[in-house]
Amino acid sequence: MSDKSKKNIDPKPIEDLAKILDELNLTEVSYSDGNFSVTVARGARFQPVNNDISIQNNSEIPTKEDDYKNDPRAVKSPMVGTVYLQPEPGANKFVNTGDSVKSGQTILIIEAMKTMNPIESTLQGKVIKILVENEQAVEFGQPLMLIG
């Protein structure tokens, strides 16, 4: 095989996929264009049961996050990690849509580096909307729920 037959890899599509991966909180994203195919992935602590559903739900998140990032009713994640909406598997959720919460009340847990961190509400009022799913990866500053 001559050097002329080797194809130089354009890093731009890979960088774009990596950006999409971060923006959508995905663990893996693939792109194929006939002769060119690439997959970008990052390590995850859990494997979604159904990738189609996971990707579909995650693809909606950026629009919702953009809508709620500056919303004064949003409780935001103080860290990167995995969200748990209940104290243990099979237990009731900490809060449900429509529940009244007090400032300082635990509303969910974020696991970061194998440590379970109770997240307390910074607001008081009714839970208007829960913006995350159980066992979803979240980023620092990501809106978790609306309380008003």
DSSP state of 93: P
Which one is predicted more confidently, 44 or 72? 72
Q: Looking at residue 130, which CATH number applies to its domain?
A: 2.40.50.100
Q: For the chain, what is the mean pLDDT?
A: 78
Supply the range of the domain harboring residue 90.
71-147
Looking at the structure of the chain, the number of domains it has is 1
Contact 116, 54 (CB under 8 A): no
Contact 145, 75 (CB under 8 A): yes
Locate 26 and state its tokens: 């995905």
What is the secondary structure of 18-40 as a DSSP string?
A: HHHHHHTT-SEEEEEETTEEEEE
Asked if pLDDT for residue 61 goes beyond 60, the answer is no
104 within a domain of the structure (yes/no): yes
Which has the minimum average pLDDT: 5-14, 43-52, 70-79? 43-52
132 within a domain of the structure (yes/no): yes
Q: Would the pTM count as exceeding 0.75? A: no
40 within a domain of the structure (yes/no): no
The pLDDT assigned to 30 comes to: 74
Asked if pLDDT for residue 126 goes beyond 80, the answer is yes
**Strand pairing of 74-76 and 81-84?**
unpaired
pLDDT average, residue stretch 86-105: 94
129 within a domain of the structure (yes/no): yes
pLDDT class of 49 with cuts at 50, 70, 90: very low
3 within a domain of the structure (yes/no): no
42 within a domain of the structure (yes/no): no
pLDDT average, residue stretch 7-33: 74
56 within a domain of the structure (yes/no): no
